[in-house]
Amino acid sequence: MKKRFLLTAFFCCCSLIAVSAQSARCFDPEGFSEARAAELHRKLPVELAAQREWIAGFQTRFGEAFTPIQRKRISRRLEMAERLAAYIESAFKSADKDDIFFAERAILHLKNLCTYLSDEEKLARLFCEQKEIVLSIRDFGAQGDGVTDDSDAFQTALAKIAGMNGVPVKLFLPKGRYLLNKVHRVDNEESHLAFHNQKNITVEGETPDTTLIFGVNEKNGVRVFKSENIQLRNLVLLNRTVPFMEMEVESVDPEAQTITGRHIVPSLPADAPQVAGYGGPKLCFRRDGSLVTGDLWPVPDSLVTLPSGKIRMAVRRGPFHKVRSGMRIACPGRRGGSVVVFSCSRFCMLDRITIHNSWDLALVNHASHASTYSKVRIVPLPGLSFTTNGDGIHAANSGLYSGIGPTVIDCEFRAMGDDPINTYNRGWYVAAVQDHQLLTHGGEALAGDITYVYDSATGEIRAGLTATETTVRRNWGKYNVSATMVKEQIPSRIKSFDSLNSEPPAEDELREIYFGKSRREMPDVAFNPFRAGAWEVIADCVFADNRNCGPVIQCDNALVENVTIANIESFASKIGAFTTWREGPPPINVLMRNCKIRNSGGLRTEFYVLNPDNEIATGRHVRHVTFENNELVNCHQPAFTIASSSGIEFINNRIVNPQKEAFKIINAEKLTFQGNTVNGKPYTPQIAGKTVWPVRASLQGKLSKEGAWRHVGAGLQNSGGDFEALYAAQYSALKKVKIQTAFRFVKPEGKAGLRLVEHVGIPDNGYYFLLDGATGLFTVSVRRREGTVWKPEQVVFRRQLETAAVNSLEVLSEFTSVVVKVNGKEIWRGGAPLPTLFRSGFVAFDAPVSVEKLEIAGGGHQGGILAFGDSITHHCRWQDTVGKLAGLEIGNGGMACDDTINARKRLESDVIALRPDLVLLLLGTNNSSATQAMTDLKYIIRRLRSARINVIVCTILPRPQPERAVKLNQLLRQYCRQEQILLHDWYEVMNDGNGNMKKEYGGGVHPNTRGIEVMARSFIEDPVVKKFILQSTERKDK
């Protein structure tokens, strides 16, 4: 017997779970045909065998001839190569048609790895065969006293080394503090120390505190450009000016939401232009340096110095309540200049380097190949709490020099203004398509690289285009673009600025689009995964007290192991991609093991796409990821959030004291669970069951009408007035809605189609999918109405179509996407709004139509536990907290504003049709009559029991005008006692003694976070509830 729902945990030694909901394909069949798949099935096994043979030969030569750091990075990449080869082999047998196309990408990665391993052999021979020449910087006049400008001495030394034709040279820096007070321009970039077209140079300090001081504000410290094997060792790299402001909090005003404190020297003053000009979030640290929050957003221009010399700041958004006297507030001055930049370079390294501050990104790895960061420490200066204004390592890869990603080993990054490391390929919007030439607004490819073109709104891969020659730059109108000649015929569906007849947006407008404040259809995005920093290694590191995320992995074949991630504001690590920020592509073949997560967000896989809701992709693009032997303690987000993913393994992970659910799974399949625990108990998450689609309304009944509709034959015909609609009389809040219609234009004029309404409180505001009867133009738009006045629509998509005598239209809205079909053909995919069945349905604007078919259905998962209620269930989501504490997944059947009358109307479709094992019933708060409420609740309970669905009834919460709640709860207790129905009584737990909700729990109708926590704990600690759930699920299983 299998127990499906236990309040303790789920147990499964090893289980493979395939989510039953059908996913959209990752690859567009037009660009990835059956013929292409057949060709790959024929040639890839041969290519895999050849790559494996070459790697096996390399392994016989791999050993002591390589340096210790080489052995560390190579051995890990060899392990990831074997994982990748196993994935390719599995694709040959897979029934998933997408897998063979992912295998094509994987084979090319193996080829690139072999080239890299060959280069590592050459580097090992160089270290063995050529003796290093040592030069002292003191011989070139450097003083190293921290006062004298030593810029000229370094320039003279580097000029001498440049004439030595690449023989290995070490520039030795005796113990001291070397001030560099001049910058040099190379390739339009200014830096204090520049290496350009040089190789085999090491700059090494005598002692760990040997320091390079960069004296010019907002400029790069060291920049390495188009160079090879440049190494910096045993140094402190320091900006002379501390590039941020820091203050110690002395007082907090909760009403005005202001913070007042004293300025901490030597940080920048509050009125410094770098600080005053940056309106981004501020950070708060405890005395011990641990992060409290990095999400304090100031009121614009509120950061001021008072006549007393104190500093005051007003906070408009963020967890202000966490700020206390004695804490530190750091205000970044994010404006240009990194400490070390590797640009278009190969095999460069930082070893035993300490960094205390940076104007922006601390370390930039731009379009560089196989960089290494070993024993790099980014830590605050003594007396300060903050370090860098931006990322620790920002590895943006898009150039021809990039290929193999960075190795980050034995590093410690603390108290930074953004991510510790982010590795990705910059995606580029498609400008135009000309024959076999792809024009993009940036990006590069080598001959043989495959550029993948993604639909920016859905994530679907339109094409995989193989470059026949290296990308070149050329003019396209007034723009300079990247032109790549490709082997394949470019599919016609690719969207470009040219096909959309639009111009690239300005930077400000682009940010508005990214944040969903402006809606505009954007072109497809091109990613080149082979210039994306693949084969990244992150090992034996500590990332703590940083504002944003932990490691962000947006590249293939990455390994993260033995990493401690603590006190991170957002996710502990993200594995995925964004078409919003054009960072990607979604990774394949990632292994994260033996990591310790503390007091942070959880681990996440995702592929976010650009649509009005910034939702996740429709396909499952993140593939072949393993989480093994990780420990996650006190995660303030779900321990694991898995979205847009397939083939994810969870092996021996330990989740301790989760603050949210252990696993949150959205649009994922082929999930394997083995040996995972929550609070020491075996745990396997329940995956939602099959989706069913009960029809809520049709031409046969339950339709509400706006306008003059009359029956004509088996259909309905309107008058052709300004606005007329057909919709479900019943309303429900749903995650899934399907609406199908067939209609004809009585006269070829006006617009008609379907709509999804966003919410019950704004009945006509939502998404409209309309066909023009006169022109055949199909549009997707956002419309709003105030009273009888329609506001100007925002058109997000348009396409010219041929109308039919009878036009069919289908809208399917699920968790992550809306799919629209016109006359049987998919026309548009976009982000999912929050649909309801409140006025969603058929609409017509000045269009005389005859509707011959209309079905409005709401979808839900069968089985499991369902909470059925009003806004306390719908919005407050008390059941989610129960699920988090008890290891349960509980469905949300709440509807804001519902009373028992309306709940009774939706009982069959929202509850009975889903066949749950157990219903948690909390209804009656919105009723004006306790007697009416009790009549309806009796009906609901009897109907559930007749359908063999178990029920737990909950008393309603204390509220203003307590007489109704007191009377209804008395009736509920009496009825449940009489009928032997289990009742959980929250009233006394939440009551302040006067019939109102305790102020600390919310004080009104809706409980606050603390109140929900009390409700949830009261529920799961009720021994009768525990016993009943166990018994009810056992009966169901039998």
CA–CA distance, 208 with 353 (Å, rounded to integer)? 8
CATH code of the domain containing 138 = 2.160.20.10
Please check whether residues 216 and 254 belong to one and the same domain.
no
Contact 543, 573 (CB under 8 A): no
Q: How far apart, in Å, are the Cα atoms of 575 and each of 244, 607, 970?
A: 30, 9, 52
Please report the DSSP string for 197-227 in residue order.
Answer: S-EEEEEEESSTT-EEEE-STTSEEEEEES-
Three-state SS for 645-661 is EEEEEEECCEEECCCCC
Please check whether residues 342 and 210 belong to one and the same domain.
yes
Give the largest Cα separation in the chain, rounded.
101
Please check whether residues 1012 and 880 belong to one and the same domain.
yes
**Which pLDDT does position 442 carry in this prediction?**
86
The torsion defined by the Cα of 837, 839, 842 and 843, in degrees rounded to 10, comes to: -150
**Which pLDDT does position 248 carry in this prediction?**
96
Q: Looking at this protein, which amino acid is placed at residue 798? A: R
On whether residue 601 sits in a domain, the answer given is no
What's the residue count for the chain? Answer: 1038
- Of 310, 332, 354, which residue sits at a domain end? 332
CATH code of the domain containing 290 = 2.40.10.170
Neighbouring residues of 382: CB distance < 8 A, sequence distance ≥ 6: none
Please check whether residues 444 and 315 belong to one and the same domain.
no
pTM exceeding 0.85: no
Contact 305, 366 (CB under 8 A): no
Range of the domain at 721: 692-860
| Low-confidence residues of the chain: pLDDT under 50 | 1-14, 17-22, 613-614, 1032-1038
Contact 796, 783 (CB under 8 A): no
On whether residue 538 sits in a domain, the answer given is no
- Of 842, 860, 878, which residue sits at a domain end? 860
- Give the CB-side neighbour count of residue 690, counting CA atoms within 13 A: 5
CATH code of the domain containing 701 = 2.60.120.560
Please check whether residues 89 and 157 belong to one and the same domain.
no
On whether residue 630 sits in a domain, the answer given is no
- Give the CB-side neighbour count of residue 271, counting CA atoms within 13 A: 5
Please check whether residues 823 and 843 belong to one and the same domain.
yes
pLDDT digits (tens, 9 = 90+) for 872-916: 888 788 888 887 776 667 878 888 778 899 888 888 878 888 888
904 torsion bin: left (phi>0), alpha (psi -120 to 50), beta (else): alpha
CA–CA distance, 759 with 141 (Å, rounded to integer)? 73
Contact 460, 829 (CB under 8 A): yes
CA–CA distance, 420 with 395 (Å, rounded to integer)? 11
CATH code of the domain containing 991 = 3.40.50.1110
C-alpha radius of gyration, the chain, whole number: 31
Q: How many CB atoms lie within 10 A of CB 308?
A: 9
Q: Is 732 helix (H, G, I), strand (E, B) or coil?
A: coil
Q: How many CB atoms lie within 10 A of CB 789?
A: 7
CA–CA distance, 263 with 270 (Å, rounded to integer)? 8
On whether residue 258 sits in a domain, the answer given is yes
Please check whether residues 830 and 879 belong to one and the same domain.
no
**Which pLDDT does position 611 carry in this prediction?**
61
CA–CA distance, 379 with 400 (Å, rounded to integer)? 33
Please check whether residues 699 and 821 belong to one and the same domain.
yes
The torsion defined by the Cα of 929, 931, 935 and 938, in degrees rounded to 10, comes to: 110
Contact 440, 431 (CB under 8 A): yes
Q: Is 714 helix (H, G, I), strand (E, B) or coil?
A: coil
On whether residue 108 sits in a domain, the answer given is yes
Please check whether residues 991 and 854 belong to one and the same domain.
no
CA–CA distance, 890 with 866 (Å, rounded to integer)? 5
Contact 594, 628 (CB under 8 A): yes
Contact 589, 105 (CB under 8 A): no
* Tally of domains within the chain: 6
Place of tokens 């700020």: 323
- Of 494, 529, 564, which residue sits at a domain end? 529
H-only helix segments in 325-449: none
On whether residue 11 sits in a domain, the answer given is no
On whether residue 351 sits in a domain, the answer given is yes
Please check whether residues 830 and 916 belong to one and the same domain.
no
Q: Is 995 exposed, middle or buried (0-12, 13-18, 19+ CB in 10 A)?
A: middle
pLDDT digits (tens, 9 = 90+) for 854-867: 999 887 777 778 88
Please check whether residues 937 and 833 belong to one and the same domain.
no
Contact 996, 1003 (CB under 8 A): yes
The beta strand positions in 675-822, using DSSP E, are 677-678, 681-682, 691-692, 695-698, 703-706, 710-712, 715-717, 723-728, 736-745, 751-759, 762-772, 777-783, 785-786, 789-790, 794-800, 807-813, 818-822
Residue 434 forms beta bridges with which residues?
A: 437
On whether residue 105 sits in a domain, the answer given is yes
Q: Looking at this protein, which amino acid is placed at residue 28? A: D
Contact 6, 1033 (CB under 8 A): yes
CA–CA distance, 318 with 316 (Å, rounded to integer)? 7
**Which pLDDT does position 324 carry in this prediction?**
94
Please check whether residues 946 and 1007 belong to one and the same domain.
yes
CA–CA distance, 142 with 154 (Å, rounded to integer)? 8
